[in-house]
Every structure is written in C-alpha cells, then in structure tokens.
Amino acid sequence: MIPVQGVEHQTVAVLGLGRSGKATAAALAAGGAQVVAWDDGNDTREAAAADGLRILDLTREGNWQGISLLIVSPGIPHLYPRAHPVIAMAWQLGIPVDNDIGLFFRSYATGDWDQFDRAPRVIAVTGSNGKSTTTALIHHVLEECGRPTQMGGNIGTGVLSLEPAIDAEVAVLELSSYQTDLARALTPDVAVMTNLSPDHLDRHAGLGGYFAAKRRLFAEGGPDRAVIGVDDPEGQYLANQLSMGPADDRVIRVSSGQKLDRGAWAVFARKGFLSEYRKGRQAASIDLREMRGLPGAHNHQNACAAYAACRAVGLAPREIEAAFHSFAGLPHRSQTVAEIGGVRFVNDSKATNVDAAAKALQAFPRIRWIAGGLGKEGGIAALQPHLGAVAKAYLIGHSARDFALEIGQTPYEIADTMEQAVARAAAEAEPGDTVLLAPAAASFDQYPNFEKRGEHFTDLVLALTADR
C-alpha cells in the first residue's frame, strides 16, 4: 500500500466503495487521515461499515463540517452527463475534489528515494484501444529484462494498493479517461497515448471532451518523454503541441502503417516489421510476424508504443525483442485459446466497440466471426469496409437481428447464444480459418461483463479440444 501524503489529521471523504474506493480509504488512513465514506448502494455501505469504515451521508450538507477533501471513485460522473449530487455539494462548499490517481502522484515519491542509486519512474498509458495490452507488454518487457516493476491502475491492482517503490523500479499504469479527467496531479516520467476513437462520449459530452480528458496526462503532467500514436488527427495534433520542432526527441511518434523516417525519434510498423528511427536513420528493426501474442496491425501499434516506452527508460532493442517473443497476450484481447484441426480460436471479448472490432477483423486472413450482444449507439454499419476476410458471421444476443441488417452481403446466421455460435462456427470452419469472438457490443444482455463472456467462449472452445 502507498500511504497518502499531506492528509495527516485531516478528515477526508471517499465517495464510492468499490475496489478503488476501499483501497483509497485504506491508503488515506495509513497516511493519518480520518476517513468518512459514502456509497449510493445500501448493501455496499453496510459491508463497508462491517469492515470498520465510518459511513456518513454526504448528501446532507450538515455532515460536511470539517471535511477538507473529497475523493471520488472513477465510475462516478463528476461533470457529464451531470455531476453526482455529492460532488455538486463539494463544489458549492468549496471543497477540493480528487481521485486515487491524483493521490498516487502526490504520494509516490518519498524521502527514502534520496538513498536510491536510481530514482523510480512511472510510465502511464492511456488511449481508446490497446492501452491494456500496451501496459501489460511494457510490464512484461521490464520483468523479462530484470527491472523491478509493478503494474496497476485501470488494469490489475489499484494504484494505491501498489507497494512503495524500490531502487530503480518502474511503475506501469493504465489510465482511463475517467481517471485522467479528474486527477489533480498527473506527473508520469513517460506518458503514452495509443490512439483515439469515439468512446464514453456521454461521460465527456462528445469527442472533444473525451480527447481533452486524455490530453491532460500530457498537458498537465509534463512528462520527460511522450509516446504518441499519430495514426489519427488527435494524435498528430497532440504530438505537434508537445514538440518544439523536428529535433525535439522528447516526443516519440508511433504508427502502424505509416513510415515515420523524419524527425528526432519515431517507431513504426509496416508489413509486420517494427522499425525505430533516430534523427532520420534506422536504429533497430524487429520482425513481429511470428509473435503469436501480438497478432494484427492493431497489436503491432501496441508493440510500437511499448517498444518506445521501454526505450525511453533505457532498455536496448535486442532486450525488448527477446521479451516480445515470450509475451502471451492478455485474456480477452486477441487471445489465442486453442488451435484445433488447423482452426485457430481467438477470444477478443474486449472488442466492445466498432473500432476495436475493426482492428480484430483485420488481423486474420479468413474469419468465422462471432459478434453481438448489447449494441452501442450507431450500430456496426461502419464495420462493412472491414468484413472482407469474414467467411461467415454468427450473431448472438440482444442486437443479433439489428447487426444482421448492418453487415451488407456478409453471410450470417442468427445463433442467439454463445453455445450455438461456437458449435456452428467450429462445425463449418476449415483448416486455416480463425473463429474470432469480437462482439462489437457490450455484454450486459447475457453476461455481467466482457470477461465473463470471454471466459464462456474459452470454456466452450476448450470443451471442443476435450472431445478430440
């Protein structure tokens, strides 16, 4: 645990008592704060009280006496579509509002660092798609290269549940727009933006607000190095804003598809090869084509971003390349579950929006596509240009029939359930095919989350292997 600094003898309120909220309350208490807490759920409040937390109804103005700070869990809206009433109350009373990410960045460095030979560093990764894979890949490379490292944030461990840093350690954090938007302190040593595509637009009042939340990691944080994916206009804009000119190597531009051979520092992937360019000259090259944990152009972009971040903290190209080979990928993100009779089964349940599904659909040559669930605003008509490799779609869940109307001439059948879809796709697949779960939809019609959906797919595929 990382005790929060600067809160000793203060009363601090915590709003939201899920995993993040409870960890925050513990870290505040470890820093000497008097913690009060509130959650809209009665059962959650009762469970927290049973664990010893002091519950205080923060919807009542009279209960705010003496509170100096409000810490908000990331899932709670603080501005759009409207501020939670407790947050609005804090505004009215002039009480600062922050989150666990802000507390982490103000508390991570301690006096113990004066005794270290090499100061710890923080790599923070944000973006629309690929940030989890990029974060995990950076962490994996650091581990494989013998560097002390921890991983947390929006993936795995909450930031305040990480252990205090040791000599030369690198903390690798995945940060969502919900987390970067509110944090009052953002000071990573290396900041990474993978890409930007429409998502969480209701929470940020449109694409501009969504981008502004991501941009704060760079504009507010002033990282020593910024790794920016420049395959979209927002990335190009951000890289230009941060750079002082072509010779400025504080910005490392990253691409999957573009050749970036100008400027001070760039990393790009084309035709399956990653290239690093420094001052217009090639510095390194890696063949990504046989790395099964990184299939497709979207994962090659992730590899470029991770490579650039690892280079920024001093790792050598050949060290990084060797570690890439042993990366198995993340569950539910282009995860190869099995290969049966020459047919590959891939779980990309995390592909919950059109952009993520499009990237998965471009990663394999011939696809049996399992899609559907609770469709998002706008449907999936935008996927039509990316369906050329789809031999057949097997549509499941609430939006199956809507999806059928939006995929053009692509052959399909309504399978309704995951069991039916896997059985039919496996029966019809031929050697060389990939049975791909890339839903392009939320899971909440049939599953509590995308992880459970991916686990169900995986269990069904593994049952097929047992039958062989």
Is 154 labeled as catalytic in the residue annotation? yes
Tell me the β-bridge partners of 435.
345, 368
Contact between 69 and 13 under an 8 Å Cβ cutoff? The reply is yes
132 labelled as ligand-binding? yes
Nearest residue to 386 (alpha-carbon basis) of 436, 449, 340, 445: 436
Active site residue 200: yes
| DSSP β-bridge partners for residue 286 | 274
Active-site position among 200, 376, 386, 398: 200
Query: Phi, psi at residue 287, to the nearest 5°?
Result: -85, 115
Counting Cβ atoms within 10 Å, is residue 402 exposed (0-12), middle (13-18) or buried (19+)? middle
> 309: closest CA among 363, 252, 262?
252
- Chain centre to alpha carbon of residue 194: 9
User: In DSSP terms, which residues pair with 151 in a beta bridge?
Assistant: 172
Distances (CA, A) of 196 to 235, 255, 382: 7, 13, 16
Burial of 171-193, coded b for 16+ CB within 10 Å and e otherwise, reads bbbbbbbbbbbbbeebbbbbbbb
Q: Which helix (H) or strand (E) holds 35?
A: strand 34-38
The reply, when asked if residue 133 is annotated as ligand binding, is: yes
Task: Give me 282's structure tokens.
Answer: 């090639």
Find the catalytic residue in 22, 139, 140, 154.
Answer: 154
Q: Which amino acid is at 269?
A: A
Element (H, E) at 36: strand 34-38
Residue 255 in 3-state DSSP? strand
Query: Is-catalytic flag, 22?
Result: no
Return the SS3 of 293: coil
Half-sphere CA count of 55, side-chain side, radius 13 A: 17
Amino acid at residue number 439: P
Catalytic pick among 22, 78, 84, 131: 131
Query: In the numeric block, which tokens belong to residue 380?
Result: 């999936």
Burial (Cβ within 10 Å: 0-12, 13-18, ≥19) of residue 318: exposed
* Selection from 128, 101, 108 nearest residue 305 by Cα: 128
Residue 458 labelled as part of a binding site: no
- 222 annotated to a ligand binding site: no
CA distance 359 to 334: 10
**d(Cα 204, Cα 1) in Å, to the nearest integer?**
31
| Residues annotated in a binding site | 127-133
| Residues annotated in a binding site for ATP | 127-133
- Which residues does the annotation mark as catalytic? 131, 154, 200
